[in-house]
Chains A and B, each alone.
Chain A
Amino acid sequence: MSERTYNFAYLDEQTKRMIRRALLKAVAIPGYQVPFASREMPMPYGWGTGGVQVTAAVLGPDDVLKVIDQGSDDTTNAVSIRKFFAKTAGVRTTTHTEEATVIQTRHRIPEQTLTADQILVFQVPIPEPLRFLEPRETETRRMHALAEYGVMHVKLYEDIARHGHIATTYAYPASVADRYVMDPSPIPKFDNPKLDDCAALQLFGAGREKRIYAIPPHTKVVSLDFEDHPFERYRHDAPCALCGATDSFLDEVITDDRGARMFVCSDSDYCERRRESAASAPKPVSAEAPHA
């Protein structure tokens, strides 16, 4: 067998065209799950093949790519996917959010506000928000077509009746452009408000389930709730132990075997930037300033 050469970003042009057609449909109908013929990729289903196919379809040679998993550039799967594109597309890669033109993410939205020049690609395991209420695809398709989302609110009602709270903490369902209810992928509900009126294009790829959906820039996205039990973000009540941020989503890190713990920004780039700018900022000269 001879040495193989791959097309730019691995996928052949026919496949990219097929994916782009699906993406166009998705953007035209915000929040609607467009079926697409997902290909087998060199990484397993469930490990980001949907996100990788979407990224491969939108990537161009001048793009700058950032890949994160759990908010960090250095988690093993993010490293693996970044290397995949470095090898098959030769694009420049970065860990800095504001430098990237395409950001592929698993389970987080970056803390930094995104711009109109950026595309955020989400890796999605289960695209169907109704799936655990109704396992049949034939039935859930009908429910979306007829906007029959009553059963979603029944689930939220049950949560409140049983726990006093809505018990969904991630993959929190949201209504897009007042029409389709979508699963935003397993991002913590802390990130849900970022979906709304976002300047960047947000694309969602589910490879194994073979669905693509999208939120065009500046689209209305509202997380489901009750008037008297409104949607609430959750965040550990602590500043980041490394950079002091009080507005970022935190990871809990256990530091010894007696259960000592500390909280650190999940978004590694955001944390690093904050620390860099704190280090280089001039010291304030003021009588009120606490002694350093």
Chain B
Amino acid sequence: MLDAHVIESAGADAAVLADQPLLISEGLTKWYGRQLGCRDVSFELYAGEVLAIVGESGSGKSTLLQMLAGQMAITAGRVLYRMRDGATRDLATLTEAERRFLFRTDWGYVQQDATLGLRMGVSAGGNVGERLMAVGWRHYGKIRHEAESWLDRVEIDSARIDESPRSFSGGMRQRLQIARNLVTAPRLVLMDEPTGGLDVSVQARLLDLLRRLVQDLSLAAVVVTHDLAVARLLSQRIMVMKGGRVIEQGLTDQVLDDPQEPYTQLLVSSVVPV
């Protein structure tokens, strides 16, 4: 079981091993029968880096994310992750216990639809505290205190700690989902259209929060989005997907300012300036 002090020292580990990639995707491929999901996707992600995967619907970006998260069977290729003890493991070789533990502590997954990533019948405090209780926290006051401090960090009024997320707005639910995922100081967060379905002003606020949190906590993140503005704001590197294939990748600013591929040029030019 993970105690509090191990969670705190995770930041130190990240600094020491910053020269090794945290997450490696090797030739990830998915076929649905004869239908291509995505093909031969390879990249390396380092601690503290944010990679945006952009493309239109049907590009394969969601399939890729689900394979990275172990939620979908891989047809070909591997996902490698550097564990807290320094060993790089092929996720397919983890036991179910190891994988589930990883997901409760070292990884976060932010769903596009917050109702799927939260327990809607449980209070905000319970939602944030669950991971702590899962790793052995047994002091109600401390759990509550930690939950309150996280609610503050994601700019939710901590007086609402006992309310169910049913009474929260879409933006608040999303921020609660983020708090729920970050409470065990994960090193990697996967996000699926984190601003999808939210009002523009709410999106801006959420993006701002995400940017600060990623920086403050030295998080590595893979953010799937169809919105280039999200990519530009959050990520250092970008991968453009079309028809299941990666057609262009590189530094975000470079790719978006000077797209090489015709499809990327089309994407960039079709963004309506705000």
Q: Which residues of A does B touch, CB under 8 Å? A: 142, 145-146, 148, 150-151, 153-154, 157-158, 160-162, 225-229
Residues of B within 8 A of A160 (CB): 140
B85 contacts partner chain A, Cβ-Cβ < 8 Å: no
Partner of A162, one of B129, B138, B162: B162
Distance (whole angstroms) from the CB of B101 to the closest CB of chain A: 8
Residues of A within 8 A of B126 (CB): 154, 157-158, 161
B100 contacts partner chain A, Cβ-Cβ < 8 Å: yes
Distance (whole angstroms) from the CB of B239 to the closest CB of chain A: 34
Distance (whole angstroms) from the CB of B166 to the closest CB of chain A: 14
Q: Are the CB atoms of A146 and B123 closer together than 8 Å?
A: no
A-facing residues in B125-174 (Cβ within 8 Å): 125-126, 129-131, 133-135, 138-141, 143-144, 161-162
Distance (whole angstroms) from the CB of B97 to the closest CB of chain A: 5
Given known pairs A146-B97, A146-B100, A227-B138, the reply for A157 and B162 (CB within 8 Å) is no
B122 contacts partner chain A, Cβ-Cβ < 8 Å: yes
Q: Are the CB atoms of B140 and A151 closer together than 8 Å?
A: no
Main secondary structure of the interface of B (DSSP, over half): helix
Residues of A within 8 A of B104 (CB): 150
B96 contacts partner chain A, Cβ-Cβ < 8 Å: yes
Distance (whole angstroms) from the CB of A225 to the closest CB of chain B: 8
Q: Are the CB atoms of A153 and B162 closer together than 8 Å?
A: no
Nearest CB to that of B132 among chain A residues? A150
Residues of B within 8 A of A158 (CB): 122-123, 126
Q: Are the CB atoms of B139 and A153 closer together than 8 Å?
A: no
Partner of B134, one of A148, A162, A228: A148
Q: Are the CB atoms of B100 and A157 closer together than 8 Å?
A: no
Query: How many B residues face the partner with a CB closer than 8 A?
Result: 23
Distance (whole angstroms) from the CB of A139 to the closest CB of chain B: 12
Distance (whole angstroms) from the CB of B118 to the closest CB of chain A: 12
Q: Are the CB atoms of B139 and A150 closer together than 8 Å?
A: no
Partner of A161, one of B97, B123, B130: B123
Partner of A154, one of B122, B135, B162: B122
Distance (whole angstroms) from the CB of A59 to the closest CB of chain B: 40
Besides A154-B122, A154-B129, 20 new A-B residue pairs in contact (Cβ under 8 A), listed by A number = A142-B96, A145-B97, A148-B100, A148-B134, A150-B104, A150-B131, A150-B133, A154-B119, A154-B126, A157-B129, A157-B133, A157-B140, A157-B143, A158-B123, A158-B126, A161-B123, A161-B126, A161-B161, A228-B139, A229-B140
Distance (whole angstroms) from the CB of B170 to the closest CB of chain A: 23
Partner of B139, one of A154, A161, A162, A227: A227
Residues of B within 8 A of A228 (CB): 139-141
Q: Are the CB atoms of A161 and B133 closer together than 8 Å?
A: no
Best-surrounded residue of A145, A150, A151, A228 (most CB of chain B within 10 A): A150
Q: Are the CB atoms of B125 and A161 closer together than 8 Å?
A: yes
Give CA–CA (A226, B140) in the complex, Å: 6
Residues of B within 8 A of A142 (CB): 96
Give CA–CA (A226, B138) in the complex, Å: 5
Give CA–CA (A146, B96) in the complex, Å: 8
Residues of A within 8 A of B138 (CB): 153, 225-227
Nearest CB to that of A158 among chain B residues? B126
Residues of A within 8 A of B141 (CB): 228
Residues of B within 8 A of A162 (CB): 123, 162
Residues of A within 8 A of B129 (CB): 154, 157
Residues of B within 8 A of A154 (CB): 119, 122, 126, 129-130, 133
Best-surrounded residue of B119, B125, B133 (most CB of chain A within 10 A): B133
Distance (whole angstroms) from the CB of B125 to the closest CB of chain A: 6
Distance (whole angstroms) from the CB of B139 to the closest CB of chain A: 5
Nearest CB to that of B140 among chain A residues? A226
Give CA–CA (A157, B144) in the complex, Å: 9
Give CA–CA (A22, B104) in the complex, Å: 34
Residues of B within 8 A of A226 (CB): 138-140, 143
Residues of B within 8 A of A148 (CB): 100, 134
Give CA–CA (A180, B138) in the complex, Å: 17
Nearest CB to that of B127 among chain A residues? A154
**Between-chain CB contacts (< 8 Å), 23 pairs:** A145-B97, A146-B97, A146-B100, A150-B131, A150-B133, A151-B130, A151-B134, A153-B133, A153-B138, A154-B119, A154-B122, A154-B130, A154-B133, A157-B133, A157-B140, A158-B122, A161-B162, A225-B138, A226-B138, A226-B140, A226-B143, A227-B140, A228-B139
Nearest CB to that of A147 among chain B residues? B97
Q: Are the CB atoms of B130 and A150 closer together than 8 Å?
A: yes
